[in-house]
Structure 1
Amino acid sequence: MQQAEDFRAESQALAAVLQDLPEADLHRVTLFKDWTIDHVLGHLHLFNVAAETSLKGAEDFGAFITPIVQQMQSGKSILESQFGWLDGLSGRALFEAWYAGSESCADAFAQADPKARVKWVGPDMSALSSITARQMETWAHGQEVFDLLGVERQEQDRIRNIAHLGVSTYGWTFINRKEPVPEPAPYVELTGPSGVVWTWNEVQEDNVVRGPAVEFAQVVTQVRNIADTGVETAGATAAKWMEVAQCFAGPAETPPAKGVRYKA
């Protein structure tokens, strides 16, 4: 599965900026909900292991995820719920565990049937969708790390996987907010890092989203407000979507306000 290699590359890109970072810097606070880099790595590590465990079957996945879900149901945040599982793992040791786990997860999905159904916290999904979601989350949470460190990430055309996920979750964005889904879905035209142009949906000049694929991905993963990007819209439907777009699972979230997420 190429998407497994794309996830691996995304993890390696994040690891490269953290590899030589002093231990104390792993505890610096990012612009995402006051999470530290350490919190980000713990979150990614937990759900990478969860995804790899899902390939072993429903029983194994259920045994792994049930204690985490129970903590969230008791009122703990998703961040607080990871601490028990990590059992004190943090800093450089957590970085090493996360990186080794990302490689193991990539190896497992590289050998998996893309169409195989796997369990997840929400609805079941294909193995292909699962590893794409791991790339998306690694890239999205990686953004706050790159931002904090003042580093410009060298983007590659594997960003198309995340852009495709963003387009595919158009309906989900509204359903998740308990709102009717406006039809038809906007035409989407995005330019990848290499200059290649990707398109989705039927051409409509009065209902369109255009711009850099990387910045579109920033909007749908809610790491940037659309006003802080070069993404442009035409038509009320496209504008509304980009105001609330959410390509990840979980309760409806409010995108960051203009200017609050940025590179240091």
Structure 2
Amino acid sequence: MTSLLEDLLDDLRAEGDPLLAAVSGLDEAGWATPTAAAGWTVATQVAHLLWTDETAAAAARSLDGDVGKAAWDDIVLQAMADPSGFVDTGAHEVARLAPTALLARWGAARQDLAAAVRAVPVGQKMPWFGPPMSPASMVTARFMETWAHALDVHEALGSVPEPTDRIRHVAHLGVRTRDFAYAVHGLTPPAEEFRLELTAPSGAVWAWGPEDAAQTVHGPAYDFCLLVTQRIHRDDIALTTTGDAAAHWLTIAQAFAGPAGEGRAKR
């Protein structure tokens, strides 16, 4: 286990704890509150995080003998049987649990995921539904989803979580997935690198790409993270661009795997 992985796990835990606190006192009506995702309640959002944490732990344990591999193979077969609905089905099934059972199972899943990725041998990658992922990449992806789905829950409950510099993980993933976003739309990504300079909640400036790049993106890191997780419309953020390619990228950017979502309507 590397210090990077441990730092990522610490941040993942720190991001999940406020969400846990926000939902722990809800009654059944609170759990049934609709969120911005069509057909998903607060319970569905938390259930999705639980289900994905459990699935990621199973992927990590697939490297540990025949039993773990067989369990992962079974999950893959289920996904192949229903590629477009597999994830939603898992979330809706788990969301039917009683709130106390849902929270207890999510708590166990969070701890189990951490233990499972720590046990992955150094240098090995975990299988996933797309390309194999290193433990650090998997935890970064889990952070991104936890942050994004927590936003949906807070929005539904009428609360606003305080932004932290932990969102650098989301911003980094959004930068790293640039070419993937083009591929999802059947487009060829630009050959040239882009320059991003984003201002963190703390006021620090985070940068990616060559300083002399012709295509640039500047603005609040929080806005960029909202955009690449499709929690806001492009026209409702304070990001500025130089160059047509950078401007176009912000209309299709996504940090999550799978097909392009519908995004959010303009305010």
Q: TM-score, normalised by structure 2?
A: 0.88
| 2:54 corresponding residue in structure 1 | 49
Mapped partners of 1:257, 1:183: distance in 2:
31
The yes-or-no answer on 1:197 pairing with 2:205 is yes
Q: 1:65 & 1:34 partners in 2: Cα distance?
A: 24
Counterpart of 1:72, as a letter, is D
Residue 90 of structure 1: CA displacement? 4.0
Partner of 1:11: 16
- Of 33, 37, 42, the residue aligned with 1:32 is 37
Are residues 1:72 and 2:82 paired? yes
Q: Report the counterpart of residue 23 of structure 1 in structure 2.
A: 28
Amino acid at match of 2:238: G
Instruction: Give the CA deviation at 1:95.
Output: 2.4
Task: Return the offset for 1:192.
Answer: 1.2
Taking a change above 3 Å as real, the CA distance of residues 223 and 235 of structure 1, as seen in their structure-2 partners, is: same
Secondary structure, counterpart of 2:250 in structure 1 = helix
User: Which stretch of structure 1 is more off in the superposition, 162-171 or 17-26?
Assistant: 17-26
In structure 2, the CA distance between the partners of 1:147 and 1:88, relative to structure 1 (3 Å rule), is: closer
- SS where residue 62 of structure 1 aligns? helix
Which segments of 5 or more consecutive residues in structure 1 lack a partner in the other structure?
A: 260-264
In the other structure, the counterpart of 1:262 is none
Aligned partner letter, 1:18: V
Report SS of the residue matched to 1:210. strand
DSSP 3-state at the match of 1:188: strand
Cα–Cα, structure 1 residues 229 and 103, in superposed 2: closer, same or farther, change >3 Å? farther
- Pair 1:100 & 2:108 matched: yes
Alpha-carbon displacement from aligned partner over 1:77-121 (angstroms, at most 9, x marks no partner): 63124445x394243321231133113323443555564300111
| Correspondent of 1:209 among 189, 195, 217 | 217
CA distance in 2, matches of 1:252, 1:16: 31
Distance change in 2, residues 1:135/1:87 (3 Å):
closer
Q: Which runs of 5 or more residues in structure 2 are unaligned?
A: 64-68
1:229–1:61 CA distance, 2 compared to 1 (3 A)? farther
Aligned-partner Cα distance in 1 for 2:146–2:128: 17
User: CA offset at residue 68 of structure 1?
Assistant: 3.7
Aligned to 1:148: 156
Following superposition, the deviation at residue 147 of structure 1 comes to 1.0
What is the alpha-carbon distance in structure 1 between the residues aligned to residue 52 and residue 109 of structure 2?
A: 10
TM-score by length of 1: 0.89
- Provide the alpha-carbon RMSD of the alignment: 2.1
Aligned with 1:62 (options 41, 53, 72): 72
The structure-2 alpha-carbon separation of the partners of 1:8 and 1:148, relative to structure 1 and needing over 3 Å to count, comes to same
Following superposition, the deviation at residue 170 of structure 1 comes to 0.6
Task: State the AA in 2 paired with 1:255.
Answer: G
